[in-house]
Amino acid sequence: MNAATHSRDSSINRVLPGFGLSMAFTLSYLSLLVLIPLAGVFAKAAGLGLSGLWHELSEPRVLAALRLSFGGALLAAAVNLVFGPIVAWVFVRYRFFGKRLWHAMVDLPFALPTAVAGIALSALYGPQGWLGQPLNALGIKVAYTPLGVFVAMVFIGLPFLVRTLEPALEHAERTLEEAAATLGANRWQTITRVILPAVTPALLSGAAMAFARAVGEYGSIIFIAGNLPGLSEIAPLLIMIRLEEYDYAGATAIAAVMLVASCAILAALNALQFRARRTGAP
């Protein structure tokens, strides 16, 4: 009787039946798809040595490409961090004509092939484009400049903020907002002290995903960037150029730096997200 009770309690305490097999499959699958390829990059980079890495990464062209990729991705994520919540708020809290159509358009950067998105952006912001022509008249050139890279990064990153925030806003307790209003709080106080703390983890998750996508984006950027070395050339494109030149050492060095920097920034954002959850937990 005691053995049967112990066996039943052990099966209840398990998260899933067959947890050991499921965990083994998960770790094997992730190792084959993620860990082993990344370990290969680190192993190849380690073979260059510190002097070899420094030689490859100290070139002005490489530094400019890394600066544009990471700087543009951070700036694009910051812009989406401001406007993404506004878009998500409108879709969650308001009803208007054509809402489903506009809501579906948010997913276009997900659905469109990256090359199609890049061609569309370059045609729109090009010298003769619908937006490019009036902007050129004002002295603002978007296509084939670093500004074009930034625009493409904002375009591909916006859906991550909107889609991540919508569930958080839908599940936010509106009674807390009503209580804040009855206590005399204005709209700004309600947003900063009631709504924002509740959605901060989702906000940081969306920003992290938008940043990661922008850093590694290739197809939608190269068409509008112009790809001028030292000016509008992104790091993923430079990796491809190095591979086409059979410069595997240079390509590996750039890839390793991008991998380490991306992991560090994502780890920092995840730490902030965890801290926000702990702070907001009851």
Structure tokens belonging to residue 109 = 């950067």
Distance CA 164, CA 229 (A): 35
Q: What is the pLDDT of residue 85?
A: 92
Cβ burial, residue 109 (10 Å; 0-12/13-18/19+): buried
Distance CA 182, CA 234 (A): 52
User: Is there a contact between 68 and 233 (Cβ–Cβ < 8 Å)?
Assistant: yes
Q: Which domains does the chain have, with CATH numbers?
A: 50-280 (1.10.3720.10)
Q: What is the pLDDT of residue 16?
A: 55
205 Cβ contact partners less than 8 Å away, ≥ 6 residues apart: 164, 273
Phi, psi of 186 (to 5 degrees): -85, 180
Q: What is the pLDDT of residue 2?
A: 52
Q: What is the pLDDT of residue 267?
A: 83
Q: Point out the residues of the chain with pLDDT beneath 50.
A: 1, 6-12, 282
pLDDT digits (tens, 9 = 90+) for 10-20: 444 555 556 67
